Amino acid sequence: MAELKFIEGYPEYMYELIKVVEQTRAKRKDYTPKAMTMEEREDVLKVHPDYAEGGKRAINIGVNKGDIAPNEVADLLEAYPLIEEGEIDLRKPDYTTDILIIGGGLAGTTAAIWANDQGVPKENILLVNKLRHGDANSIMAQGGTQAADRENDSPVIHFIDALGGGHFTNKPDVLQTLVEDAPLIIDWLIDLGAMFDREENGDFVEIWGGGTCRKRMHACRDYTGLEELRVIRDEFKSREIPSLEYEPVIELLTDSDRVTGALLWNFETGEYKIVEATATIIATGGFGRLHIRGFPTTNHYGATCDGVVIAYRAGARLRDTDTVQYHPTGAAYPQQIIGLLLTEKLRSMGAQPVNKDGEAFVFPLEPRDVEASAFIRECYVRDKGVVTPTGMRGVWLDTPLIDIKNGKGTVDKAFPGMKRMFARFGIDMAKYPVLVFPTLHYQNGGVETDPWGKTNLEGLWVAGEVSGGVHGKNRLMGNSTLDCIVFGRKAGISTAEYVKSGKKRGKLTLEHMKKYVKLLKEAGIPKERKAPILLPDYRGKRVLARMIDVF
Amino acid sequence: MKKQKSIMEIIAEANKAVTTGIDEKDIEYWVMIYIMGRAYKVPAGLTIMQAMEYAGYRFIRSAGCRAGFCGACATVFRKIGDYKLQTAMACQTKVEDGMYLVQIPFTPAEKAAYNIGKEPYDVSVLFKYYPELARCLSCNTCTKACPQDLEVMDYVQAAIKGDFTAVAEGSFECIQCGLCAIRCPAEIVQYNMAQLARRMFGRYGSKRPESLSKRVKEVKEGKYEKDFRKLLSATMEEFKKLYADREREKD
Ligand SMILES: Cc1cc2nc3c(=O)[nH]c(=O)nc-3n(C[C@H](O)[C@H](O)[C@H](O)COP(=O)(O)OP(=O)(O)OC[C@H]3O[C@@H](n4cnc5c(N)ncnc54)[C@H](O)[C@@H]3O)c2cc1C
Ligand code: SF4
Ligand code: SF4
Ligand code: FES
């Protein structure tokens, strides 16, 4: 069977185009395009997926009725549950626990350990996972975690950076907790044995993150999330705290305005299970796999907004649902890795965005939304993008400049993960540029909380990407791994106190669901629309067209 | 008259293969692969994971990050006519004509329970929790199996010698996929042993930065509370001014 001819990992025609980039490289080496003026920014932002017309609408049902959200999210909020009333026998819980934690990324796993530290016995905690424990956005974080622990820095400066980055919409008291607790978190991670990048004398190597005025990014090569999560997960497992895998939560259980447990569904056998819990923490992460506006994503397979959907149905209040974060540099080629993240650090270290004609067309470190818009404009308005064999367009990120500017071997040392990813498909990013296009990256908004992760519903806490408020309408790099660990810890402590205060367990009902279904019917929502979706579906069209249900 | 497509619609259209599944009408080049023995014609240029999805499999297990970080998608395969049993991450490996493959969604492996705060920082801790370490035959099978191309045998050998730095550095990029352990004739669980070694190294291998300890103490003593009280009552204008007046530290 025939295949395309490749040179250095690129089809012949793209390889020819790379020569154009190489020809202008010497000239570009000491040249950086000017940063845009405020007017220029405003103009280019018109082609940004988060600002361009048509992507959003008002939520029609529930606590946040009237608020704006991406169409894909609004659709899921206005969707029928996966189960019908009467189908479920709530009389005999399969698990009875003090603290139920839903989702084992950085946030959920951290919560379990801290609840245990506060004296909740391990057997009274239960962590449930949709996939394996750790198959999560957390494990993919590359760039680092912010914490103001150097002499010339302070939590106050960190606060101001994050507030400005969030367009001044962050919830201030929650943000204070984030930045004040940050040094404690790094200290805790060292206790657990996390291997941050260090200088000879033990000091942290701290680097820039977009939008900060101090270097306060703590990284573990370009595997920061992997290192943080596997250390925390190892501690969790060493304590033998119970956990379940492949048993997603599909609905919460309530006793009027109080969350009292959850309904699990065994992915493999189809059986449902009832969990009765005194306190529940939702830590289910983000929504990249909704492919908002048809964009590819950096997120893991299970990032489908489940936590927001089930919390909302139970009456939890959301905030900042109207903004979505796209990352300017997702991979656009090769097809196998489309959408996957190329960290911002590549540009911090000298890689330059370049168009089809070999021109550096944009300042490399504009804010994420401006940078992304400039790429989209280059490809779709000015027609200066490179078209891939699958019909995608992208611009070059001239990565060989990194070694030229910082010395040979820098790419190998600073970006081993990234380099490995491209090498697997025959591309040496230290020698040849790579093709990039914006990708869906982060859920800015979510369930509103107080500084302890508590929601407006009794018995319900949230932590991590599923929550909203701490980052306002835009999150800075390095603040979300931090967010997860800070508020995972807070939620763990807070739920432990709640439990220890002698709180009785509530009744187990699906009354909230019944009420919500009534609203859905009144609003005439199509019956087929169901949520949470649990996993995306990428099966080939031909197979789907021939699939029949006989067994 | 047909409405002109917006840029967003054009982008969505160009991305649809990765966001909604592949339509065979768009495919020019094909390869033949064998999933658990059954032949499927799939588009060339996909990963093993994407190709299986194209063929109609919807993953529950064996798919996690889809980006080479989580180790969920461990796969073993042979190529027709080749004696070699190879290993790969399904999300990071291109399908090739004549691959026959199966996935290993789970590795039965022991993970010891310990409290690193109470263990001595020397080789005894590794042997205490992973005594089978002593059985390593230096056969190098683990290294050959590692989809991250780590020198697994070397870090196992370093562990036997108690060289924590070498184990930590050598195993740092391990994604705990389990393929080394599945292949090891000495039944060593390399990646769990390395996890313990790295944690010991991370905790005891270098001095805790003084500035960190100092800052932690300051926060605990409430040094910033007053500043924050003032900040939290600031007006939007004051916030904006503070932000605009920030001084950027030198590169
Ligand atoms: C590629 C990438 C790079 C990033 N880089 C950085 C960075 O450099 N610095 C930074 O600070 N941040 C970064 N981020 C963001 C950050 O990693 C995430 O926002 C954060 O880790 C989210 O953690 P979490 O615990 O909230 O959710 P996750 O880590 O996503 O964990 C949620 C878990 O819940 C599970 N789950 C979902 N639904 C259910 C359900 N219904 N029932 C049970 N379980 C469920 C999921 O499968 C998952 O295991 C990055 C994100 C990505 C994707
Ligand atoms: S060392 Fe073992 S577990 Fe780790 S990545 Fe390599 S094969 Fe997988
Ligand atoms: S496979 Fe096992 S026995 Fe062989 S070198 Fe690796 S650890 Fe030693
Ligand atoms: S799915 Fe995570 S490594 Fe392949």
Chain A nearest C-alpha distance from B136 (Å)? 24
* Closest CA in chain B for residue A438: B11
Ligand nearest to the CA of B159: 3
For the record, the structure tokens of B39 come out as: 């032949």
Ligand nearest to the CA of B65: 4
Chain A nearest C-alpha distance from B25 (Å)? 9
> pLDDT tens, A296-319?
999 999 999 999 999 999 999 999
Output the average pLDDT for chain B.
Answer: 95
Is the separation of the CB atoms in A307 and A467 below 8 Å? no
Active site residue A327: yes
Judge whether A68 lies within some domain: no
For residue A404, give its domain range.
6-50+327-440
Ligand 1 pocket test, pick from A137, A221, A533 with the greatest ligand atom count within 8 Å of Cβ, gives A137
The answer to whether the Cα torsion of A161, A163, A167, A168 is positive or negative is: negative
Which domains does chain B show, CATH number per domain?
A: 13-103 (3.10.20.30), 116-205 (1.10.1060.10)
Residue A457 in this model has a pLDDT that exceeds 60: yes
Q: How many residues does chain B have?
A: 251
Give the pLDDT mean for A286-303. 97
pLDDT attached to residue A4: 67
Query: Are residues A134 and A44 located together in one domain of the fold?
Result: no
State the Cα–Cα distance between residues A445 and A174, nearest whole angstrom: 14
Within 8 A by CB and 6+ apart from B112, the residues are A238, B129, B130, B192, B196
For the record, the structure tokens of B245 come out as: 């007046």
pLDDT attached to residue B2: 60
Angle at B43 between CA B41 and CA B49, to 5 degrees: 90
Judge whether A191 lies within some domain: yes
Q: How many residues does chain A have?
A: 551
Judge whether A153 lies within some domain: yes
Amino acid occupying residue A535: L
Q: Which chain B residues touch A243 with a CB distance below 8 Å?
A: none
Query: Are residues A319 and A332 located together in one domain of the fold?
Result: no
Is the separation of the CB atoms in A114 and A184 below 8 Å? no
Helix B190-204 and helix A172-192, axial crossing angle in degrees, nearest 10? 110
pLDDT attached to residue A3: 59
Judge whether A140 lies within some domain: yes
The alpha helices in chain B, defined as continuous H runs, are 7-20, 48-54, 124-129, 141-145, 152-160, 164-171, 179-183, 190-204, 210-220, 225-232, 236-244
Judge whether A26 lies within some domain: yes
Q: What is the DSSP string of A487-542?
A: HHHHHHHHHHHHHHTTPPP---B-HHHHHHHHHHHHTT--TT-BS---S-----HH
Judge whether A268 lies within some domain: yes
The β-bridge partners of A360 are A354
Active site residue A347: yes
Of B66, B112, B199, the CB nearest to A300: B66
Element (H, E) at A234: helix A224-238
- Kindly name the residue from A133, A216, A347, A505 that is annotated as catalytic: A347
Residue A286 in this model has a pLDDT that exceeds 50: yes
Least confident of A83-87, A201-205, B98-102: A83-87
CA distances from A226 to A120, A139, A171 (A): 27, 4, 29
> pLDDT tens, B39-82?
999 998 899 999 999 999 999 999 999 999 999 999 999 999 99
Q: Does A155 contact B224 at a Cβ distance shorter than 8 Å?
A: yes
Q: Among A440, A456, A483, give the residue marking a domain's end.
A: A440
pLDDT attached to residue A124: 98
Amino acid occupying residue A456: N
Give the pLDDT mean for A453-478. 96
Residue A102 in this model has a pLDDT that exceeds 70: yes
Q: Is the ipTM of this complex over 0.95?
A: yes
Judge whether A88 lies within some domain: no
Judge whether A544 lies within some domain: no
Number of domains into which chain A is organized: 2
Query: Are residues A319 and A348 located together in one domain of the fold?
Result: no
Ligand nearest to the CA of B179: 2
Query: Are residues A426 and A461 located together in one domain of the fold?
Result: no
Query: Are residues A288 and A238 located together in one domain of the fold?
Result: yes
Q: Does B113 contact A184 at a Cβ distance shorter than 8 Å?
A: no
The answer to whether the Cα torsion of B160, B165, B171, B176 is positive or negative is: positive
Query: Are residues A133 and A267 located together in one domain of the fold?
Result: yes
How buried is residue A105: exposed, middle or buried, by Cβ count under 10 Å (0-12/13-18/19+)? buried
Any atom of ligand 1 within 6 Å of the Cβ of A147: no
Query: Are residues A107 and A239 located together in one domain of the fold?
Result: yes
Is there a cis peptide before residue A532, judged by omega within 30 degrees of 0?
Answer: yes
Query: Are residues A146 and A251 located together in one domain of the fold?
Result: yes
> E strands along A112-180, which residues?
125-128, 145-146
State the Cα–Cα distance between residues A65 and B35, nearest whole angstrom: 48
State the Cα–Cα distance between residues A312 and A442, nearest whole angstrom: 19
Query: Are residues A314 and A387 located together in one domain of the fold?
Result: no
pTM exceeding the 0.90 threshold for the entire prediction? yes
- Three state DSSP letters for A256-313: CCEEEEEEEECCCCCCEEEEEEEEEEECCCCCHHHCHHHCCECCCCCCCCHHHHHHHH
Q: Which chain B residues touch A390 with a CB distance below 8 Å?
A: 14, 17, 26
Q: Among A423, A440, A457, give the residue marking a domain's end.
A: A440
Is the separation of the CB atoms in A471 and A211 below 8 Å? no
Amino acid occupying residue A392: M
Query: Are residues A109 and A199 located together in one domain of the fold?
Result: yes
Q: Which chain A residues touch B61 with a CB distance below 8 Å?
A: 131-132, 246
Q: What is the DSSP string of A42-103?
A: HHHGGGSTTTSTTSEEE--SSTTTT-EEEHHHHHHHTSB-SS-TTS---SS-SEEEEEEEE-
Within 8 A by CB and 6+ apart from A317, the residues are A63, A64, A447, A448, A455, A456
- Domain containing residue A435: CATH number: 3.90.700.10
Alpha carbon of B137 to ligand 3 centroid (Å): 6
Query: Are residues A433 and A284 located together in one domain of the fold?
Result: no
Q: Does A132 contact B24 at a Cβ distance shorter than 8 Å?
A: no
Query: Are residues A181 and A292 located together in one domain of the fold?
Result: yes
Which single residue is written with the structure tokens 């791994």? A481
Any atom of ligand 4 within 6 Å of the Cβ of B63: yes
Of A149, A161, A268, the CB nearest to B215: A149
> pLDDT tens, B131-161?
999 999 999 999 999 999 999 999 999 999 9
- Domain containing residue A235: CATH number: 3.50.50.60
Band (B251; pLDDT cuts 50, 70, 90): confident
pLDDT attached to residue A1: 45
Angle at A143 between CA A137 and CA A149, to 5 degrees: 115
Output the average pLDDT for chain A.
Answer: 95
CA atoms within 13 A on the CB side of A441: 28
